[in-house]
Amino acid sequence: MPKPRTRRVPVRMSRPSGTGSWLRQLHFSAFSLVMMGVLVLAVIVLAPTVQAFLSQRQQIADQQRAVDQLAAQVDTLKDQRARWNDPSYLRAQARDRLYYVMPGETSYLVIDDRPPAAKQDTTPVSSKLQKTQTDWVGSLFGSFMGAGLTDATPQQLSGDGGAGSTPAPTPTPNPAPKK
């Protein structure tokens, strides 16, 4: 008896996605592998050259900036030289810097005859709050009342006979705090 034949039924496969169909169509040949190797070799050989080229371009740009700055400085110096060639500018500089005067003029030089400024206190500043040792309100009130009620002249009050100098106020002691 003959064997029954099996019937072949085609299997329905899902359609491959866009990426899958693209990958299935790729075929690597010896030529494409050689070309990929040449491309990788070209990148390896040219990378240092490109890096050197970019470095040189950066140096050229830096040098160009330096040249531009020096050109601006040269222009400034040329303008200054042109000003010094002007007689009125030269005369003004001689008056200001060297104290020169024109014939017939009188020059006065005022020297500061004030006493030197008092030295500043160099003690370190405390970060804690401190209580003042003088009663400034009482001192102010006493000064006001003393000036209004006295019969003495200003020369008698100053003690040295010179007007304009005032005696230094004396601190008034604070009463001890109550416990």
Taking only the tens place, the pLDDT of each residue in 47-94 is 999 999 999 999 999 999 999 999 999 999 999 999 999 999 999 999
* pLDDT level of residue 6 (50, 70, 90 thresholds): confident
Is pLDDT at 24 greater than 80 in this prediction? no
Tell me the two tokens of residue 72.
């601006």
Can you give the pLDDT at residue 20?
Answer: 64
Is pLDDT at 173 greater than 80 in this prediction? no
The CA distance from 105 to 96, in Å, is 15
Q: Does the predicted TM-score (pTM) go above 0.75?
A: no
The CA distance from 121 to 48, in Å, is 66
Dihedrals φ, ψ of 165, to 5°?
-100, 130
The CA distance from 163 to 115, in Å, is 18
Q: What is the DSSP letter of 4?
A: P
Nearest to 154 by CA among 142, 145, 166, 141: 166
pLDDT, tens digit, 9 for 90 and up, residues 112-159: 878 888 888 787 877 887 776 778 888 888 888 887 888 887 778 776
